[in-house]
């Protein structure tokens, strides 16, 4: 693996603006202290069950991104405040810091990450550190280091210490040769972004560690995730978050995708619910290690029409970003998530009208929205 040295101020700023909450090391990236071969010979593998402890001890990496804080809140309600540790390389806001345990964790620092797992007796690990699609294309070496080298560190530590490991995947794990409408769990995957390539790598490595070493690896392919309490983080689907902020602030929105670009989407509450459900599912019910999950699928034009029910004067214009459009055109239009619904009872709660209503209820009572209501 390449040595990652002195990524510099620009890389640091890029990380902070991406919302990925990932770590950058100023030492060789692959500071591995134990090999998979050593792991296989030194550890007896099994999934930690609730019979061994009252609740799982949880670590969330990349916790200051779009999903980490919300997941921590959900898990703390379920398992107790002190059983869920949020981590990142950035300084958290006061409300996050005082809401429960928070620590610094750099996923490229293998030794430190291993110490965190051991010292805190971690049993579940949610690995959210990653550079997203558009941000990753702007800095491929950094994305390769964070998304792939960081994953290797997490896999080795999870295998050594018998963790139940969750790694999210994405609609970006598919490519232009994949069936797009619908896209099944198992099909050709030839993504054309470093983000997508790294997620396919994560899916396959997780499945390999499961069959080779007995690692309890679980993965969901997320659609575009929409939430009111986080800013867009450099993803191709982020227009579906930004449109709400711009509609309230200015009544105008310029979209970087074509109006007919259909992509799978999901409200954040459904995403977090699915994540907890698959982690709690009995191992014998899982017929695969990676599942599609879906809730709705819409185009920018369809979303704008729904938003205009609340902001009738919204002016929607289009300035197509060729890079993001090419990415979107290679992604699924609809997800087939029938396996998740059959195996562990997945069921979404939010369709497009409920999504839009919920977003506006969270984002405030702007006068133009009040008048529309």
CATH number at residue 257: 3.40.50.720
Measured from the Cβ of residue 106, the count of other Cβ atoms closer than 10 Å reads 22
Does any domain span residue 28? no
Chain centroid to CA 70: how far? 12
Measured from the Cβ of residue 261, the count of other Cβ atoms closer than 10 Å reads 23
Measured from the Cβ of residue 72, the count of other Cβ atoms closer than 10 Å reads 25
Q: Is 128 a catalytic residue?
A: no
Does any domain span residue 37? no
pLDDT at 65: 86
Residues 6+ apart with CB under 8 A from 308: 314
Does any domain span residue 86? no
Instruction: Please provide residue 27's backbone torsions phi and psi, each rounded to the nearest 5 degrees.
Output: -120, 170
Does any domain span residue 4? no
Q: Is 368 exposed, middle or buried (0-12, 13-18, 19+ CB in 10 A)?
A: middle
Instruction: Please provide residue 60's backbone torsions phi and psi, each rounded to the nearest 5 degrees.
Output: -115, 115
Pair 101, 92: CB distance under 8 Å: no
pLDDT at 236: 85
Which of 110, 128, 195, 209 does the annotation list as catalytic? 195
pLDDT at 373: 44
d(CA 183, CA 167): 20
Question: DSSP string covering 17-66, please?
Answer: HHT------SS-S---SS-HHHHHHH-------TTTSSS--EEEESTTST
pLDDT at 10: 39
Question: DSSP string covering 151-215, please?
Answer: HHHHHHHHHHTT-EEE--EEGGG--TTS--SSBPSSS----SSHHHHHHHHHHHHHHHHHHHH--
pLDDT at 175: 93
Does any domain span residue 23? no
Does any domain span residue 149? yes
Dihedral over alpha carbons 260, 261, 262, 266 (to 10 degrees):
-120
Residues 6+ apart with CB under 8 A from 76: 83, 84, 99, 100
- SS3 at position 7: coil
Instruction: Please provide residue 124's backbone torsions phi and psi, each rounded to the nearest 5 degrees.
Output: -120, 135
pLDDT at 233: 65
pLDDT at 50: 43
Q: Which domain holds residue 367?
A: 130-371
Pair 233, 225: CB distance under 8 Å: no
> Is the pTM of the predicted complex or chain greater than 0.75?
yes
Q: Is 308 exposed, middle or buried (0-12, 13-18, 19+ CB in 10 A)?
A: middle
pLDDT at 133: 80
Chain centroid to CA 224: how far? 9
Chain centroid to CA 151: how far? 13
pLDDT at 235: 77
pLDDT along the chain (373 residues), means of 10: 36 39 35 42 38 79 93 97 97 96 97 98 97 88 96 98 97 95 97 94 98 98 90 80 94 96 97 98 98 97 96 96 92 97 98 96 62 44
Chain centroid to CA 291: how far? 14
In total, how many domains does the chain have?
1
Does any domain span residue 361? yes
Does any domain span residue 229? yes
Pair 251, 313: CB distance under 8 Å: yes
pLDDT at 217: 98
d(CA 187, CA 180): 10
Task: Please confirm whether the linkage preceding 341 is cis (ω < 30° from 0).
Answer: no
- SS3 at position 330: coil
Instruction: Please provide residue 224's backbone torsions phi and psi, each rounded to the nearest 5 degrees.
Output: -65, 130
∠ CA 76-80-82, nearest 5°, is 90
pLDDT at 23: 36
């Amino acid at each position: 693996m390449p040595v990652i040295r002195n990524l510099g101020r620009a890389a640091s700023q890029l990380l902070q603006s991406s919302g990925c909450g990932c770590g950058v090391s100023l030492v060789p990236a692959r500071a591995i202290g134990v090999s998979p071969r050593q792991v296989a010979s030194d550890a007896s593998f099994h999934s930690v069950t609730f019979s061994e402890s009252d609740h799982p001890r949880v670590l969330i990496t990349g916790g200051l991104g779009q999903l980490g804080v919300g997941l921590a809140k959900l898990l703390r309600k379920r398992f107790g405040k002190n059983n869920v540790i949020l981590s990142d390389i950035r300084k958290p806001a006061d409300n996050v810091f005082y809401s429960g345990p928070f620590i610094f964790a750099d996923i490229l620092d293998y030794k430190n990450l291993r110490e965190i797992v051991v010292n805190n007796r971690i049993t579940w690990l949610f690995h959210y550190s990653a550079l997203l699609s558009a941000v990753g294309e702007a800095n491929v070496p950094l994305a390769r280091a964070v998304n792939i080298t960081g994953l290797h560190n997490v896999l080795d530590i999870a295998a050594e210490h018998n963790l139940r490991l969750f790694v999210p995947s994405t609609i970006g794990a598919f490519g232009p040769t994949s069936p797009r409408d619908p896209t099944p769990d198992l099909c050709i995957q030839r993504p054309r972004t470093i983000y997508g390539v790294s997620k396919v790598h994560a899916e396959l490595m997780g499945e390999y560690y499961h069959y080779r070493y007995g690692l309890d690896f679980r993965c969901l392919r997320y659609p575009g995730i929409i939430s009111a309490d986080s800013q867009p983080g450099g993803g191709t689907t982020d227009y579906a978050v930004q449109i709400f902020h711009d509609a309230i602030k200015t009544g105008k929105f310029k979209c970087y995708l074509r109006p007919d670009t259909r992509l799978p989407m999901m409200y954040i509450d459904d995403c977090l619910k699915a994540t907890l459900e698959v982690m709690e599912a009995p191992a014998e019910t899982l017929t695969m290690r990676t599942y599609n999950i879906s809730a709705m699928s819409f185009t920018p034009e369809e979303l704008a029409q729904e938003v205009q029910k609340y902001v009738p004067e919204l002016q929607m214009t289009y300035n197509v970003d060729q890079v993001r459009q090419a990415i979107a055109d290679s992604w699924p239009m609809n997800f087939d998530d029938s396996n998740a619904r059959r195996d562990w009872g997945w069921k979404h709660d939010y369709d497009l009208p409920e999504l839009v209503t919920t977003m506006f209820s969270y984002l405030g009572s702007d006068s133009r929205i009040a008048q529309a209501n």
